[in-house]
Structures are given as structure tokens and as C-alpha cells.
Amino acid sequence: MTSKPATIDDVARRAGVSIATVSRALQKPNIVSDSAREKVFEAVEELGYTANVMARNLRRNRTNMAVVLVPNIGNPFFSEILAGIESAASARNYNILIGDTENDPAREREYAAFVRGHQADGLILLNGRLPSLPGDRRDGANLQTSAMPPIVVACERIPESALPTVCFDNTGGARSATAYLIRMGHRRIAHITGPPDNILTQDRLAGYQAALGDAKIPLDENLIIEGDFSIESGRAAIRLLGALGEFPTAVFCANDEMAIGAIAAIKAAGKRVPEDVSVIGFDDIQFADAVDPPLTTVHQPRAEIGQTAMNLLLDVLDGNPIAQKTRVLDGGLRKRDSVAPPRA
Amino acid sequence: MTSKPATIDDVARRAGVSIATVSRALQKPNIVSDSAREKVFEAVEELGYTANVMARNLRRNRTNMAVVLVPNIGNPFFSEILAGIESAASARNYNILIGDTENDPAREREYAAFVRGHQADGLILLNGRLPSLPGDRRDGANLQTSAMPPIVVACERIPESALPTVCFDNTGGARSATAYLIRMGHRRIAHITGPPDNILTQDRLAGYQAALGDAKIPLDENLIIEGDFSIESGRAAIRLLGALGEFPTAVFCANDEMAIGAIAAIKAAGKRVPEDVSVIGFDDIQFADAVDPPLTTVHQPRAEIGQTAMNLLLDVLDGNPIAQKTRVLDGGLRKRDSVAPPRA
DNA sequence: ATCAAAAATGAAAAGGTTTACATTCCGCTC
DNA sequence: GAGCGGAATGTAAACCTTTTCATTTTTGAT
């Protein structure tokens, strides 16, 4: 007994008014007479009418939907950013489509096509890579041109582009984390990095190096180990460090997962955290507080990053003037129990 | 210099064919002559044409999009399920819209309106609560009726409904986890539950009780503590247990987060895991392996759950006959290092 | 060369809204 | 009571596809 859903025509007929009046009664109730409004609402109620959003979008050429490209939903780091985006979007009557790209360019293109195909009004990039839109002519320099939809970049910055960006002060965070270790008396401080081509990796590494420079500690290349942001790579890095000979007295990891892996490996090697080696992470994910010992880490205001990004995008979409194209937020060091002075 | 995007008319004009031919060339390239196809593709390329999906959807009355309602994206447990859903959807040319409801019925309704308003073809529920669709007439019994869109429930089951469901054998999993503790020699086994109105909580509690019954161990109500699936509630439960007097020798937690919290609290109380008290979790989230000690837990085939659910939904949407409306998957116990025999 | 069948194409309708523009209605003022 | 202005309403176009149905072209057999 599945009947076709009611259309605006049905409502108009039932209410004894024109479809224009129905549309107006629903969109801007105040510009319609009381009696008409009442009749329309009644008919809507009786028929269980819901406007066909596809038709509306087609006519309005706006979807109230934004795509968010996230490299990996499974990464707890992104969830809170997404939540922030969500709340800002919801507050301004927008919906978000989360595209989990798994760093697969094909996936990215697929989702980007959403905005190209008018299924979404704008794009928020959490991955720092600009998807190449199909059928899009771009010659390096002029990105946000003709066919390009409104785009906002969050979390990462895309060095060559002029896109609106909100990001965390990664270099500053890394610098103060490393400086903290130095203040505690450490000199042999290892750094486990993310993937080398990642801009976050580069910024955090730069911060680490800057702090060492500030303290006139010579850089020891052997203490910089490449990871990939995974727990396992944190483990592996520590094992590698162990195999190389002397352990450092402290390790600064480019994210919390690697720090957690590192702690596990340090314990497995029979040493204690923080008595034998201090560990510091980056991001302050949910589990940072739950590991043993609770992880000292650089806190990122993730919800705020998400909100700021979404509001930026909405401002662009609404044609509001945007004050500053790039906003840099910063957080602070969350001191817990994974850092201590080195042993005498 | 932002010009309007090219439409199918532009392509048709440029290619010197009718819009019908353009449409066909793009949809079903093989029913069009080679020459026409070539001309069309060329024109598309030159104009950078992308079909307006809103218009297409309106005409086809299908969006190739499904909404997934998840109670909390931040919960790492759901990420893998989402990934499974995503991969199955992607394989069959569908996209998913992830609706983070935060257990807020208003949010749920908002997202459900998507399918009501024809912005999505179907709905996957990860939260086990049926959103009330606006303007929807339902009288308890007959849920999936007239206006109801295709819905599939994953992870949880909704007892009163006849909706297609794929879920994990929660009772069985809890039972075998508890039985394992009993086999190890434990008799005083505490259980930290989830929120009492949650169906998962109920099923897992039932499994716990069944295992005790199997072993003829009398149920001790004092050993059943209510949690809410959060790390903190796991901590609190252990503190409560401690305050109550005797510690159990083992704790079965209704999820991994609470188990992680429990381990932290047990350590904080000066006892060791597993030597003094064994802990077992549920879900096998990513971090289960990274905590100290690595957590023994009930593994759920999350990706598979997601895939199965999505394929079920797609079968319904395609009108394929579906063999069995409800599928129960099961996993196994992941034995790590948080369980040991009780001390003599 | 003729014809039938098959293949390719085009014209036009349909899909459900919003909205520009035209019209009607109502209450005023003079 | 004519004229006017503003509010309320209706008509019809526009949004851009896909797809039905009719028409034309091609193919292949005779």
C-alpha cells in the first residue's frame, strides 16, 4: 500500500490555495495571511507532506551541505574536529557529508565531485591535499578560480595555496614541548616523526629543531626516527633506537599514538617511564589520559578548530567578508606523568 | 570571471547533437554511435562539464546516498563499522552521509528527514533507536509501512521491530568471556555494565549471568556495577568496588573503554593486573592492544558488520530478495595479557 | 533495388520546487 | 465614489536532468 508521497500540488489542492502560497507559507510564514497559513499547515499535517529537497535544491541551486574530507575516520584525532564542524554547521542550518578518503586520491576526487556536481556547496579539507576536480582546468598558481568551489583547509596548511586556512601552531607546540624537556634537564632528546612528506611532520620537526637550537644543543641525526603516526611505528622507532645503541633520556613524538606505542616498547625493553625515559606526545587524544603513565602531550583545541573552519566556510558561502584568511590557533602543554628529570 | 557552469544544453550544442544523446552517451555509452559518443566526450572535455546531480536525482528519484546514524563519531568503536559500510557502499556506487546524533533525538530526526525529503535513499541505524520521522504516522506495531524508507539496523537490535538487522552475538560473547574467567579459576567476578536501558548492556549482562549460571556460581548483585561505556565510568566502578570492601579477583567490562579505565583504577589502588585482578573487555578497539597490560577482550568483526549492513540495505533498495532479515555475526576472544588465574 | 528489422536519434514531457511578475483584493484618503 | 497603495495571491517560468515515444537512419537479407 505504498502510495507516492504527497507533493506541493496535493497540499495546494487540499488547502484550496495555489502552490506558490503553499511554498510561501512554509518558507516565510509571515508574508502569508493567517487564514491561508492555517489552511496550508492543516493540509500539510493531514497529508504528511515533506518538501522534496532535491527539487528545492535544484531550484535554489544550494544544498546546505558541505563535504568534509578526512583522511581517516578511524583516527580519534579527527573525531573531535568533526564534532566541532558538525556543531557549527548545525547551528547555521547546514549539514555535513563526511568523506573518508583513506588518503586515496581516487576517493578524494570522488567526494570532491560532490561539490562539482552541485550536491554540496563547499569543501573542508582536513587532509591538506587539494583534490583534483575532474574536468577542472588549473594551472598551479590560480587555484580558487572560476570553477573552484569554496574550500577551507583545517588542521593542515597547503603551502602554495591561498585558501582560507585554520590551523594549529604546530611548530610552536613542538618547540614548547621540546623546550619543556630541555628545561627538565634532558639533553639527549629523540624525535619520532610522522611521514616525511606530511606538512605536520615538517612543522613539528622544525619546532623540535628550533628548541634544540635555542638551547644550543647540537642536532643528532641519529635521534630523529621516521614514523607514520601509528602506534606500531612508535614501537618500532623505540626498538630501532635501542638497536642503535644508547637510549635517549627523552622522546618527543609527533603524535600521541606513536607516543603510546613508544611507551609500550620502552616498558617492553625493561625500562620505566618516566624514570628512565620521558615521553611526550602531540594532539592530546582521548586515550592520552588513560595510558600508563598518563601522557604529557601538546593539547590541540580540536573542537575550536572544527568550528572555526566551518564558520569560515559558511562566511565564504554567504558572501560575508572574511577578516583574515588564515587563522592560527594554539593550545598548551598538558602536563601529566610521562615526563620527569633525567636520572643523575 | 566566474561563469555559470556548463549544462547539458551547452554540451549538446557544442557537440551538434540533442541533449538526449548527450545524456545517453554519458549514461550508457554503448547505445550511442561511435561518432556521437566521441563528439560528446570531446565537448564535455572542452567545457569541463559535470552533470548536475541534483537535477539527475530529481528526475531519477534516487540519490545513491544512504544516511548512517551513529551515536558518537568520537567513539573509536564505530569508526571501523563506518569503514566497512563505506567500503561496501563504495563498491556498489553509493555514498554515505554520516549523521553524528550524539544520542540527541532532535538530531536523529533531523537526519532522518534527509531520507524523508528524498535526499537519501535509505537509513542505517547504529544506535538502535528508531527516529520518529516528522509527519509520519506510525502506530507502534507496523513500523516499516507506507512512508517508512528502507532501514537497516546494525550493531544493536530493536526488539519490537521487524527491521532487517545485523548484529553481533553479544550474549554469546559475554558468556564465553565470563566462562573463560571461570575456567581460569575465578569465582568472584565483577561486571561493569553500560547504561541500563541500552540493549547491548542487557544482552551482555545476560551473557555474564548465563555463564555464572552454567558454572553454578550464585549471582552477587554487589558485583554488578553500572557504568556508561566511558573510560571514567570504568575508573569510578573500580573505586566503588574498592569502597564496598572486597575486591573481586576478576572484572568483566561491557566495553574496552571501561576496561581501560578499570585497569587504570586498579593500578591506582596499588594492585596489579592481571596478578591481583584480571580484566576482560568487549569490542577489541584499536587501543586494546596498546594499553598496559594488553587487554584481553571480545573481538567484534566490525568491518564485516558494516559491510553486511550496507549490502543488506542495498539489496532492499535494489529490490533484491533478501535471504534472512537478521544476521548474527560472531567473533572470538582475543587473549592478551590482562587475565591470569587468581592468586592462591 | 526493396523491404523489414534494428539501431540511433530527437522532441518533448516529467520530476517538484522557488520566485519573478502579474493580478486581485482590501482598506484608505480625498 | 474614484483613486491609490500595499498586501495577498496566482500564473508560469526556471532549475537541469532522464526517459518515453516517435521518427529517422542504418543494416542486412532478399
pLDDT at A3 over 70: no
Same domain, yes or no, for B175 and B289?
yes
The answer to whether residue B105 sits within a structural domain is: yes
pLDDT (tens digit per residue) in A231-264: 999 999 999 999 988 789 999 999 999 999 999 9
Q: Is the CB of B52 under 7 A from strand C?
A: no
Chain B: closest CA distance from residue A76 (Å) = 6
Question: Which residues of B fall within a CB distance of 8 Å from A90?
Answer: 107, 110
Chain A: closest CA distance from residue B117 (Å) = 5
From CA B335, how far away is CA A160, in angstroms rounded? 49
Same domain, yes or no, for A181 and A296?
yes
Same domain, yes or no, for A164 and A308?
yes
Compute how many other C-beta atoms are within 10 angstroms of the C-beta atom of residue B134: 13
Answer yes or no: do A135 and B48 touch at CB < 8 A.
yes
Per-residue pLDDT at A146: 41
pLDDT at A327 over 50: yes
Cβ-Cβ contacts under 8 Å between A and B: the total is 143
Per-residue pLDDT at A2: 52
pLDDT (tens digit per residue) in A174-201: 999 999 999 999 999 999 999 999 889 9
Q: How long is the CA A13 to C1' D7 vector, in angstroms?
A: 23
The answer to whether residue A337 sits within a structural domain is: no
From CA A267, how far away is CA A245, in angstroms rounded? 17
Question: Which residues of A fall within a CB distance of 8 Å from B145?
Answer: 1
Residue numbers of chain B with a pLDDT score lower than 70: 1-3, 132-148
pLDDT at A74 over 80: no
Q: How long is the CA B315 to C1' C9 vector, in angstroms?
A: 35
Same domain, yes or no, for A177 and A295?
yes
Q: Is the CB of B298 under 7 A from strand C?
A: no
Q: Would you say A8 and A59 are in contact if contact means Cβ atoms under 8 Å apart?
A: no
The answer to whether residue A3 sits within a structural domain is: no
| Count of domains for chain A | 3
Please, what is the Cα angle at B328 between B182 and B75, to 5 degrees? 80
From CA B121, how far away is CA B310, in angstroms rounded? 12
* A311-339: average pLDDT: 88
Q: How long is the CA A56 to C1' C23 vector, in angstroms?
A: 26
Same domain, yes or no, for B179 and B286?
yes
The answer to whether residue A1 sits within a structural domain is: no
Domain span holding position B198: 170-301
- Chain B within 8 Å of A260 (Cβ-Cβ)? yes
- Closest by CA position to B164, among listed B12, B311, B30, B40: B311
Per-residue pLDDT at A217: 97
Per-residue pLDDT at B113: 83
Per-residue pLDDT at B148: 59
Chain B: closest CA distance from residue A19 (Å) = 18
Nucleotides of C under 7 A from a protein CB: 7-12, 14-20
Answer yes or no: do A116 and B50 touch at CB < 8 A.
yes
Same domain, yes or no, for A160 and A176?
no
Same domain, yes or no, for B192 and B250?
yes
- Residue-by-residue DSSP string for B79-128: HHHHHHHHHHHHHTT-EEEEEE-TT-HHHHHHHHHHHHTTS-SEEEESSS
Per-residue pLDDT at A135: 42
- Chain B within 8 Å of A216 (Cβ-Cβ)? no
pLDDT (tens digit per residue) in A259-285: 999 999 999 999 999 999 999 999 998
The answer to whether residue A58 sits within a structural domain is: no
Which one of A3, A44, A54, A107 makes the best mutation probe of the B interface by having the most chain B beta carbons within 10 Å?
A54
Same domain, yes or no, for A240 and A132?
no
Same domain, yes or no, for B25 and B144?
no
Per-residue pLDDT at B292: 86
Helices and strands in chain A, H and E counts = 11, 12
The answer to whether residue A57 sits within a structural domain is: no
pLDDT (tens digit per residue) in A129-172: 777 654 444 433 333 334 457 888 887 777 777 788 998 999 99
Burial label for A240, CB within 10 Å (0-12, 13-18, 19+), is middle
Per-residue pLDDT at B5: 85
- Computed over every residue of chain A, the mean pLDDT equals 88
The answer to whether residue A343 sits within a structural domain is: no
- A313: Cα separation from own chain's centroid: 14
What CATH number did the domain enclosing B43 receive?
Answer: 1.10.260.40
* Chain A 4-23 residues in 7 Å CB range of strand C: 4, 7-9, 19-20, 23
Same domain, yes or no, for A98 and A137?
yes
The answer to whether residue A344 sits within a structural domain is: no
Please, what is the Cα angle at B292 between B289 and B298, to 5 degrees? 40
* A27-45: average pLDDT: 91
- Closest by CA position to B157, among listed B193, B208, B109, B203: B203
The three state secondary structure string of A137-153 is CCCCCCCCCCCCCCEEE
Strands (DSSP E) found in chain B:
65-70, 95-100, 122-125, 151-155, 165-168, 189-193, 224-226, 250-253, 278-283, 296-299, 326-329, 333-334
Q: How long is the CA A21 to C1' D9 vector, in angstroms?
A: 7
What CATH number did the domain enclosing B122 receive?
Answer: 3.40.50.2300
Strands (DSSP E) found in A71-219:
95-100, 122-125, 151-155, 165-168, 189-193
Same domain, yes or no, for A123 and A220?
no
Per-residue pLDDT at A134: 46
From CA A250, how far away is CA A253, in angstroms rounded? 10
pLDDT at A213 over 90: yes
Beta bridge partners of B97: B67
Q: Is the CB of B290 under 7 A from strand C?
A: no
Compute how many other C-beta atoms are within 10 angstroms of the C-beta atom of residue A226: 16
Same domain, yes or no, for B132 and B160?
yes
